[in-house]
A and B are shown apart, each in its own frame.
Chain A
Amino acid sequence: MSRVLMRGNEAIAEAAIRSGLKCYFCYPITPQGEMVEYMARELPKRGGVFLQAESEVAAINMVYGAAAAGVRTMTSSSSPGISLKQEGISYIAMARLPCVIVNMMRGGPGLGNIAPAQGDYFQATKGGGHGDYRLIVLAPSTVPEAAELVRLAFDLSDKYRVPAMLLADGMIGQMMEPVELPEPVDPDRIPPRPWAVTGARGRPKNVVSSFDLEPEGLREMNLVLQETYREIERNEVRWEEVETGDAELLLVAYGTVGRIAKTVVRLAREEGLPVGLFRPITLWPFPYEPLRMLAEKVGTVLTVELSAGQMWEDVRLAVEGRAETPFYGELGGVVPSPKRILEEVRKYVG
């Protein structure tokens, strides 16, 4: 299959359309504007609905409605816009509806800036909205991987009826790489939605709801969610390892930093430094167990993030004292170069 040169934002949009996306709702924000543009141009031509809402709050509630009606639906935004969507995401999670949310993270907190950052890890993996819920969180580190994970996000979201988030950053959104786009999905392969509200003529009515005034009833709804989350934790953990076999220092990094860290590993190995990389692909469920096993073998687990240490908390939960767990982070949209990260590495090995 031929490769096309595409921006991350465009590749995600195209992959979503090929994954059977029917309804896309958005409110524009940098650095994911090209996704909105692409959807506006392409989705209506290909049998879908593109709607630019009056606000992020409206957009996520339109996703709630479209998901309840049984179609593949998606919204995208960047950090401040994703904050605005949190209430709706919590409702969708409790209503057990599948959908895909794309967050092209930028510098924060507040209005911040439009440079790449990873400061929304807590928001994505630990809740963000109110209540006991989880999102399936997938973190691509390249443009082709972003296209691939969009398809997976739709599939997993359908399979478990849990909203999925693609968590990337402005760099992945803005940069171009050759992409092999996925084949358009066969509509018959999209799982049926017997629970959808599609008009009840001739069958008992379906109800999609995120509430129950009776505590016992609400507890039952919560227990169903928790059971689903345990199943996802058992089945869907994904990660990549690079040169971990004989590593004495293990880098842990995801997304944009994950790919920069691959260059760091190469440079370190050229100097004879035994450095490897552990790159979580699912941020939730976090790959605690495989990281724990590697931590047994290495002396140091160095976490590198574009945040003040959000994923670092999960790394330490995984390692549980089996290795040293130093941290290096950049803030405000600053992206460290391979050499800068290598300087950190040299503090602990060689």
Chain B
Amino acid sequence: MEKGIVFAGFGGQGILLAGKVLARAGMNRGLEVTWLPSYGPEMRGGTANCTVVIADFPIGSPVVDCPDALVAMNAPSLDKFEERVAEGGIIVANSSLVKRPVKRGDVRAIPIPANDIAAELGNPRVINMVALGALVRALGVVSLEEIQRAMEEELHGKGRDKLIELNREALRRGFSEAEKYLS
């Protein structure tokens, strides 16, 4: 098993953190992981992406040609990466900002209104965890509990402990939202 996942969006949307949480969940499960950020001179409002690879054998390339899954948090990200997604792959698109449908017919498209769900939860910053929850449901490599625990470890002790409960809920909402497209 080897899965490559690309997270892409605006800087400030929590793209890098979402990838880190997934990588940590994979590691906790005893799998091999790599987390590779785009680290250009990009600031809040620019584009950001990271690539996570999860495998049950030592990982060679952290660079992925055809990701098995794409999390596109905005329209430019979907435009940029849609064509590269592997046949039969997953595209989680933030439908609050991505107003067009996924064009590819050979992938599983999961539109998630991440901004709207985050607004309902009372904090727009958890859009990344909403999208990550949906991805985890579709990917099936780690469980909801495992991703929640990885998120807790990531936020713990960095002055963000009070946000853990909110982020747990965001992951759960994304996870169950994805159900609709997978049954």
Q: Is the CB of B60 within 8 A of A178?
A: no
Q: Which of A215-223, A257-265, A286-294 lies at the interface with chain B?
A: A257-265
Judge if A224 is at the interface, Cβ distance under 8 Å. Answer: no
The interface residues of chain A lying within 8 Å CB-to-CB of B63 are: 260, 335, 337-338
Q: Is the CB of A176 within 8 A of B39?
A: no
Determine the distance from Cα of A259 to Cα of B58 in the docked complex, in whole angstroms: 10
The interface residues of chain B lying within 8 Å CB-to-CB of A178 are: 27, 32-33
The interface residues of chain A lying within 8 Å CB-to-CB of B168 are: none
Of the candidates A170, A265, A340, which one forms a contact with B39 in the assembled complex, judged by CB atoms under 8 Å apart? Answer: A170
Q: How many A-B residue pairs have CB under 8 A?
A: 64
Q: Is the CB of A259 within 8 A of B60?
A: yes
Interface centre among A170, A178, A335, A338 (most CB of B within 10 A): A178
- For B44-62 the 0/1 string (1 means CB < 8 A from A) is 0000000000000011111
Which residues of chain A (289-342) have a CB below 8 Å from chain B? 335, 337-340
Judge if B65 is at the interface, Cβ distance under 8 Å. Answer: yes
Interface centre among B34, B37, B39 (most CB of A within 10 A): B39
Q: Is the CB of A263 within 8 A of B27?
A: no
Determine the distance from Cα of A50 to Cα of B63 in the docked complex, in whole angstroms: 34
The interface residues of chain A lying within 8 Å CB-to-CB of B61 are: 259-260, 262-264, 337-338
Q: Is the CB of B40 within 8 A of A114?
A: yes
Determine the distance from Cα of A177 to Cα of B58 in the docked complex, in whole angstroms: 11
Q: Contacts A5-B23, A170-B39 given; indicate if A337 touches B34 (C-beta within 8 A).
A: no
The interface residues of chain B lying within 8 Å CB-to-CB of A266 are: 60
- For B68-101 the 0/1 string (1 means CB < 8 A from A) is 0000000000000000000000000000000000
Determine the distance from Cα of A5 to Cα of B35 in the docked complex, in whole angstroms: 9
Of the candidates B23, B32, B65, which one forms a contact with A337 in the assembled complex, judged by CB atoms under 8 Å apart? Answer: B65
Judge if A175 is at the interface, Cβ distance under 8 Å. Answer: yes
Interface centre among B27, B59, B61, B65 (most CB of A within 10 A): B61
- For A240-280 the 0/1 string (1 means CB < 8 A from B) is 00000000000000000001111111100000000000000
The interface residues of chain B lying within 8 Å CB-to-CB of A260 are: 60-61, 63
Q: Is the CB of A171 within 8 A of B60?
A: no
Judge if A31 is at the interface, Cβ distance under 8 Å. Answer: yes
Of the candidates A5, A174, A338, which one forms a contact with B65 in the assembled complex, judged by CB atoms under 8 Å apart? Answer: A338
Which residues of chain B (9-40) have a CB below 8 Å from chain A? 20, 23-24, 27, 32-37, 39-40
Determine the distance from Cα of A166 to Cα of B64 in the docked complex, in whole angstroms: 26
The interface residues of chain A lying within 8 Å CB-to-CB of B64 are: 337
Which residues of chain A (68-97) have a CB below 8 Å from chain B? none
Count of A interface residues, CB-CB < 8 Å: 26
Q: How far is the CB of A111 from chain B (nearest CB, A)?
A: 12
Q: Is the CB of B62 within 8 A of A171?
A: yes
Determine the distance from Cα of A178 to Cα of B36 in the docked complex, in whole angstroms: 13
Judge if B159 is at the interface, Cβ distance under 8 Å. Answer: no
The interface residues of chain A lying within 8 Å CB-to-CB of B24 are: 5
Q: Contacts A5-B23, A5-B27 given; indicate if A175 touches B37 (C-beta within 8 A).
A: yes
Judge if B122 is at the interface, Cβ distance under 8 Å. Answer: no
Of the candidates B20, B32, B36, which one forms a contact with A174 in the assembled complex, judged by CB atoms under 8 Å apart? Answer: B36
Determine the distance from Cα of A47 to Cα of B66 in the docked complex, in whole angstroms: 47
Judge if B41 is at the interface, Cβ distance under 8 Å. Answer: yes
Residue of B nearest to A261 (CB): B60
Q: Is the CB of B34 within 8 A of A5?
A: no
Determine the distance from Cα of A170 to Cα of B63 in the docked complex, in whole angstroms: 13
Judge if A234 is at the interface, Cβ distance under 8 Å. Answer: no
Judge if A3 is at the interface, Cβ distance under 8 Å. Answer: yes
Q: How far is the CB of A244 from chain B (nearest CB, A)?
A: 16
Determine the distance from Cα of A261 to Cα of B61 in the docked complex, in whole angstroms: 7
Q: Contacts A5-B24, A114-B41, A338-B65 given; indicate if A175 touches B60 (C-beta within 8 A).
A: no
Determine the distance from Cα of A269 to Cα of B27 in the docked complex, in whole angstroms: 27
Q: How far is the CB of B78 from chain A (nearest CB, A)?
A: 20
Determine the distance from Cα of A114 to Cα of B39 in the docked complex, in whole angstroms: 8
Q: Is the CB of A171 within 8 A of B36?
A: yes
Which residues of chain A (182-239) have a CB below 8 Å from chain B? none
- For B149-181 the 0/1 string (1 means CB < 8 A from A) is 000000000000000000000000000000000
With A176-B20, A265-B60 already in contact, 15 other A-B pairs whose C-beta atoms are closer than 8 Å = A5-B27, A114-B39, A114-B41, A171-B36, A175-B34, A175-B37, A176-B23, A176-B35, A177-B33, A177-B59, A260-B60, A263-B61, A266-B60, A335-B63, A337-B61
Which A residues fall within an 8 A CB radius of B? Answer: 3, 5, 30-31, 114-115, 170-171, 174-178, 259-266, 335, 337-340
Which B residues fall within an 8 A CB radius of A? Answer: 20, 23-24, 27, 32-37, 39-41, 58-65
14 A-B pairs within 8 Å (CB atoms) are namely A5-B20, A5-B23, A31-B39, A114-B40, A171-B36, A174-B36, A175-B36, A176-B23, A177-B33, A259-B60, A260-B61, A261-B60, A338-B61, A338-B65
